[in-house]
Homo-oligomer: A and B are copies of this chain.
Amino acid sequence: MPSRPKVIDIQRIKVACRSCTLHELCLPLGIDGEELERLDRIIRRRRPLERGEHLFRRGTPFRALYAVRSGAIKTYAVDEAGCEQVTGFHLPGELVGLDAIGEGVHPLSARALERTSVCEIPFDQLEPLTAEIPGLRRQLLRLMSREIASDESHFGVLGQKGAEGRLAAFLLSLSRRYAERGFSALEFRLAMSRTDIANYLGLAVETVSRIFTRFQSEGLLRTQRKLVRLLDPARLEAIAGEHAPASRCGRGA
């Protein structure tokens, strides 16, 4: 396909890892010089995904990891009944597809929540490169390990918190991640729908909507449509810390 080669070239230059603002969060952390160039050379930048477009679908063969550059990706599973389960939202600097290495097939589908550009990192080239670049090897392990740790902490949210605690924890998690990326921790735009949030948190849409309203009336935050402004993060933390139901805080054997 000979379509707009010039534009693509410009893009390539602009997004080289060395000049990428996400450098400190992404795979290249701790790598520079000639090693960074070697990594850079295997990375492919493709045209941005439009809102709703799939990055990959469940069941397709695993070829590459993807690093989000801008925009947002949601990953989700669809069970036999056609029911969707949202498993995560991925912001710039985060990797998508790590769960597919094990079986060589994507266990989840991934689609763009808004206009989103990603870096494609072919795994058959990345993997041998980690043998030669210690910093790269360690960073890949770190990122995978953090993914596991963050999944585990989400268990706590789904297992122990009531509806208010879940939404509070979710908003604070987004806040923290936006702050890490240099955006405001207190005001941000939700890339995902309430339906997606509800699904991710294991709640009904109506419940999420009601809690937004309640939080607003209690002066914890202000929302208008997708835009959220946190007014009292400290109290949100407190609410996120409460373990609402099912908590006979005893310990087993």
Contacts and interface: CB of A to CB of B under 8 A. Distances in A.
A152 B138 CA distance: 23
A87 B145 contact: no
A195 B250 contact: yes
Given A52-B253, A246-B203, A253-B113, A85 B127 contact: no
A131 B152 CA distance: 28
A91 interface: no
Given A98-B145, A101-B145, A142-B101, A84 B201 contact: no
A210 interface: no
Interface in A89-146: 98-103, 107-108, 113, 127-128, 130-132, 134, 137-138, 140-146
Interface size on A, as a range, is: 35 or more
Nearest to A205: B248
**Copies of chain A in the complex:** 2
Nearest to A155: B87
B154 A108 contact: no
Interface of A: 51-52, 74-75, 77, 79-88, 98-103, 107-108, 113, 127-128, 130-132, 134, 137-138, 140-149, 151-156, 158-160, 192-193, 195-196, 198-205, 241, 243, 245-253
Given A107-B152, A241-B81, A145 B249 contact: no
